[in-house]
Structure 1
Amino acid sequence: MDEFSLVQKIIIWTVPVLFAITLHEVAHGWMALKLGDRTAQMLGRLSLNPIKHIDPIGTIVVPGILLLLGGFIFGWAKPVPVSYQNLRKPKSDMAWVALAGPGANLAMGLVWAVVAKLGFGLVQAGNSFGEPMFYMGLAGIWINAILMFLNLLPLPPLDGGRVLVSVLPGKLGWQVSRIEPYGFFIILGLLAFGILGLILSPMLNTTVQILAQWLGISFGQAASLLNSLF
């Protein structure tokens, strides 16, 4: 399948995007629970029901616009609430809570890689069911790779920024945390000027290379398959 209609693209991307952002947030809440904070659990945010985590802008509008524009797709869900003071070791535990989200994206990316591999095998065997399975697997790999690498950037309120605040000495960490109210606008600015793409492209190119080796195809073929999803 060389070209997809908008409806086909929506079908391919919907499940991977919903899982990627939902499990990312649930992972934060789950780790917080293990480290002593029950806030997310008490508010019902440890549910795998996507409706409990959907942010109308970040989950629907932004990914939809990016899909229409043909750019790389990312989004976000409603942040899972974490009560810093409830954690057993608030400063260090917050780093583990933050890392749980990208960790979940890594795990999901590996699962989708298996789905893509199985779908690719079915396609080669002439089974028509393999094609949607294969492309949905590719979409799952891509959205989880983007969310993982994006969230690991050392900029509050991204997960990497929270890790940075946790590992820096008290006063310096507090100064970095003051960036948080402006972090989202910084990200939008980096995206608008193409800087965010430059930052993420080496990591995403590595993802494409690994994918190519996993499927037994060339880098160019893997990149072409991913590009067909936009």
Structure 2
Amino acid sequence: MDVAYLIYLLIQAAALILGLCVHESAHALAAWALGDKTARSRGRVSLNPLAHIDPFGTVLLPLIMIVLGGPVFAFAKPVPVYLGNLKHPKRDEVLVALAGPLSNIALSCIATALLAALGQMTIPSTEWFRVIYYVADFLQVLMLVNLSLSFFNLIPLPPLDGSSILVPFLKGEALNTYYQIQRYAMPILIIVLYLLPQILHIDLVGLYFNVTVYPLFDLLQGLALG
């Protein structure tokens, strides 16, 4: 395997794992702040990857998708939240859900600031240039990965975070149907990510990213690189 490609994969993996850890920790931290200590008691307010990694969703599934050549999708262990412990269950469920995507946007902004600072550094030697090059590459990947995680999770499809925005507006049978749909989330995501683009040549996620993730990434990259 080409060394440059291996480094590229490692950078992608590190950015994805960091983004997932921040995302899940934000969910746990928000739940704790709003009255539910369950996730905190299970060590989920942590940037330690071992606290969040799901062997299938975080490791095996992305590898399979890379081999198949399709879009890469990954997920961490769900953060346990007991709505009955929250002070205002319906409202707080939305706040806990939004904490994850917002944390990824915040991490993208931090990476932007670090990249801008890196661009102002004086490079003392050729060896340092190579190190700074890889750090800059990592920060740009971190920006894009976290924007992708944020906006993908804002899609209003169970069990993605964006679907929780619907909860305050659902009652009775509609709410029960919403929770039942969550059981079929993986087949639905596979259809949206793979079958529609492959069979009908309709890339809904790509179209969505074209008006959300990529313009914002270009903006942040422009700010960082001047």
TM-score (norm 1): 0.82
Cα deviations by residue, 1:52-99 (Å, 9 ceiling, x for unpaired):
111112211233344455655442110111111111111111000101
Indicate conservation of the 8 Å contact 2:29/2:45, yes or no: yes
Aligned partner of 1:206: which letter?
Answer: P
Hey, what does 1:227 align to over in structure 2? none
Instruction: Give the 3 Å change call, closer, same or farther, for CA 13–151 of structure 1 in structure 2.
Output: same
Hey, what does 1:220 align to over in structure 2? none
- 1:59-78, aligned counterparts within 5 Å? 59-68=58-67, 72-78=71-77
Aligned partner of 1:56: which letter?
Answer: P
Distance in structure 2 (CA, Å) of the matches to 1:49 and 1:196: 30
Instruction: Give the 3 Å change call, closer, same or farther, for CA 114–215 of structure 1 in structure 2.
Output: closer
Hey, what does 2:106 align to over in structure 1? 107
Q: Report the 3-state secondary structure (helix = DSSP H, G, I; strand = E; otherwise coil) of the residue aligned with 1:5.
A: helix
Hey, what does 2:78 align to over in structure 1? 79
Percent identity over paired residues: 32
Hey, what does 2:201 align to over in structure 1? none
RMSD in angstroms over aligned alpha carbons? 2.4
TM-score (norm 2): 0.84
Distance in structure 2 (CA, Å) of the matches to 1:109 and 1:101: 13
Alignment match of 1:174 (pick from 173, 176, 201): 176
For these two proteins, the number of residue pairs brought into alignment is: 214
**Structure 1 residues without counterparts, runs of 5 or longer:** 218-230
Distance in structure 1 (CA, Å) of the matches to 2:62 and 2:20: 11
Residue 149 of structure 1 and its aligned partner are, at CA, apart by 0.4
Structure 1 window deviating more from structure 2 (59-68 vs 8-17): it is: 59-68
Hey, what does 1:131 align to over in structure 2? 133
Hey, what does 2:24 align to over in structure 1? 25
Hey, what does 1:214 align to over in structure 2? 223
Aligned partner of 1:58: which letter?
Answer: G
Moved over 6 A (4+): 123-126
